[in-house]
A and B are shown apart, each in its own frame.
Chain A
């Protein structure tokens, strides 16, 4: 059973068209939720850490939010350079030294 599920699998946006990516988790005891960006053939690049429900973090056109069941990555007025795969990962109780990743959302922003 998947513990971290991301949707949609792929998303195509026009430049400037805002949208949200979803990460839902079913782990017992969330110890931290992380968003990463991954470009093709590269390592995950850290974006945000969220530890408790209600927490929000912002960076340029990106904003991450967390509830007790899911996290959203909101992208406002995206640009083509925002095209990448966005990964969600969690620490859970009993496994605080390993991240469990979702499958990612592949975002394409068209000019």
Chain B
């Protein structure tokens, strides 16, 4: 069964450093998403991406964040200058169409020291 994959599973970084989180969405899906979940809190929407551009973003997704689909399979989230409060689980998701079911990856646990 096709699934969303994410790498790395864990990332530890120093405050102020740049990190890139990687995702491979399900192959026939057209819509891609990033969410985050701070420990003990709700899953929060960050950004959606379709046709090589951002279609929606939340207030959390400020100038330190960017997304890219560098090739036909990968979808990346870059955090330019990490802050302590960026520590969270980051989930990638994909769907065939808008308003369709989003399938989530296993997540990347990011710890900023």
Interface residues of A (CB under 8 A from B): 31-32, 34, 36, 41-46, 49, 87, 89, 91, 95-104
Q: Does B58 lie at the interface of the complex (its beta carbon under 8 Å from any beta carbon of A)? A: yes
Chain B residues positioned under 8 Å from A102 (CB to CB): 42
Of the listed stretches B13-21, B72-80, B100-108, name the one at the interface; the rest are far from the partner chain.
Answer: B100-108
In the bound complex, do residue A97 and residue B48 qualify as a contact, i.e. CB atoms below 8 Å apart? yes
Q: Does B22 lie at the interface of the complex (its beta carbon under 8 Å from any beta carbon of A)? A: no
With both chains docked as a complex, state the minimum distance between the C-beta of A14 and any C-beta of chain B, in angstroms: 26
Chain B residues positioned under 8 Å from A44 (CB to CB): 43, 91, 104
Binding site secondary structure of chain B? strand
A91 to B95, CA, bound (A): 13
Given contacts A97-B31, A98-B45, contact A46 B56 (CB under 8 A): no
Among residues of B, the one whose C-beta sits closest to the C-beta of A47 is B101
Among residues of A, the one whose C-beta sits closest to the C-beta of B46 is A98
With both chains docked as a complex, state the minimum distance between the C-beta of B62 and any C-beta of chain A, in angstroms: 16
